[in-house]
Amino acid sequence: MIELEDFFEDVIGKTLRGTGMTDGVLSFLTNVEPEVIAKLKEGEFDEAAVRAVAPALGLDADSLVELSNRSWRPEAVEIDGLRQFNTVFDPDPDDMMTVNSYLVWDTETKEAALFDTGADSASALSAVEELGLDLKTLFITHSHIDHIIDREKVVAAHPRIRVLVNGMEPVAGAERFAAGDVFAIGALKVMTRLTWGHSPAGTTYVVSGLARPIGIVGDALFAQSMGGGVTSFKDALATNRAEIFTLEDQTILCPGHGPMTSVREEKAHNPFFPEFK
C-alpha cells in the first residue's frame, strides 16, 4: 500500500512558502502564538491551532484535520489497461522518497505508453514483456530528475520509442509538443493540459478509452495535497482548478508521488481546494 505523500505540516509549509506569509503575519491574523505555529510546521498536531490557521491560509480546516489524523485514504484503483509503479528515488532511511510511473495500454491492440520513468523502470519494462505489450511512447509529465532519471534504460530497451515532453520544459532527446496537442495509444486518446506551477510546464495527460478516464498529473496534484509551487504557487493552484478539477468526477488521478485518487475524492478531501467542500 502506497502511503499519502504529505502530512499536514507539509501542506502548511507549502502554503506559507508559496504565499510568502511569515509566521508573524499568520499569528497576527489568527491569534495563534508564533511558538505554536512553529510547532505546527514541525509536525506537532494541535487541532485548535490547525483549525485557526487554515482559513487564513486559504485551506479547508476539516480536510487539514483529516490529513493530520490520517483518517482517510483514496479508494484502491484497479482498471484493466493501467498499472502504477512506485520506486525508491533516494533511499534515505530518515526521509524515504518514492516516485511513481504509469503504464497505460489499449487492451485490444496491446499498444502501450509509459508515463515518466520513476527512479527505476525495471518493473515497468518487465510488465511490458509479461503482458505482451508494444511500448511505443514515453510521455514525460515534467523534467524534475526523479521522474526522468531512468529514461536511458527505457530507450535502450525500446530503441524506436517516441519520447514526448512539453516544449516549454525541454528534456534532452525528447520530442517537444504544445499543450493542447492530442496523441493516441492504439484506440485510446491522450489529451494534454498545461498544469504548471510546480515546474515551468508540467503537463497533465488525460487518457480516454478505458473503463474510466485517467488523468496522469505528475506533481501538479497529490492525494490530499499538491506539489509545491516551485515555479509559481499561485499558478499551480489556478491551473489545477482549471485543468484538473474540471475533469469528470470519476476520472482516476495518477500523481507522481503517493497513491492514485480521483477528481471526486480530491474535491471532498484536498485541503488546498476548499471551494469544492
Mean pLDDT for all residues in the chain: 97
Beta bridge partners of 176: 165
Report the pLDDT value the prediction gives residue 222, as an integer from 0 to 100. Answer: 98
Q: Are 204 and 236 in contact (CB under 8 A)?
A: no
Report the pLDDT value the prediction gives residue 49, as an integer from 0 to 100. Answer: 98
Report the pLDDT value the prediction gives residue 161, as an integer from 0 to 100. Answer: 98
pLDDT band at 258 (very low <50, low <70, confident <90, very high): very high
Interacting residues of 17 by C-beta distance below 8 A, sequence separation 6+: 228, 229, 233
Decide if 8-69 and 82-276 have a common fold. no
Report the pLDDT value the prediction gives residue 94, as an integer from 0 to 100. Answer: 75
Separation of alpha carbons 21 and 41, rounded Å: 13
Nine-digit cell string for 260: 492514485
Q: Where are the domains of the chain?
A: 8-69, 82-276
CATH number 3.60.15.10 given to 82-276: yes
- Distances, alpha carbon 188 to alpha carbons 23, 122, 154, 166, 242, in Å: 48, 24, 22, 20, 23
Residue 93 pLDDT greater than 80, yes or no:
no
Residue 90 pLDDT greater than 90, yes or no:
no
Tens digits of residue pLDDT in 176-212 = 999 999 999 999 999 999 999 999 999 999 999 999 9
pLDDT band at 92 (very low <50, low <70, confident <90, very high): confident
CATH homologous superfamily for the domain 8-69? lambda repressor-like DNA-binding domains (1.10.260.40)
